[in-house]
Structure 1
Amino acid sequence: MITVGLLAAGGGLAVALGLGREQTPSADSVDVGFARDMSRHHLQAAEIANLAHRGSW
C-alpha cells in the first residue's frame, strides 16, 4: 500500500512539473491525437446520456 502511494505521488509530481512533455505539442503529436479522440469520445457519451434522458434509447 505504501508503494502504491509513493508511485501515485511520484506520478502526480511528474505531471505537475511537466516532466517528459513538450512545451507546445505539434498538430500530429500523440498528445493532440489523444485529446481529439477523448473529445470525440466524451461528446458521444453526452449524446448517449441525452438519448437516455429523453427516453429515446
Structure 2
Amino acid sequence: MITEKTANICPNCKTQDISSEFIGEIFILKPEESDVAKRMKINNKGHYALRVR
C-alpha cells in the first residue's frame, strides 16, 4: 500500500518494512470484484505499488 512519506508502518499489513522506491501504481476500489486485486492478494481498497524496489 502506498502511504504518506512520514509513515513508519503500513496500515494494511502492519509491517515496518517501508520503501519509497516503486514502479507503477494501481488504485483498487472494489477488491472483491477485481481480478488484479485477487492476483495480487489485495483484500482492501486503496492505492498500491505494482513493483517495489
TM-score range, shorter chain: under 0.3
Bigger Rg, structure 1 or 2: 1
Q: Which has the higher helix share?
A: 1
Q: Which has the higher strand share?
A: 2
Q: What TM-score do you get using the length of structure 1 for normalisation?
A: 0.20
Q: What TM-score do you get using the length of structure 2 for normalisation?
A: 0.21
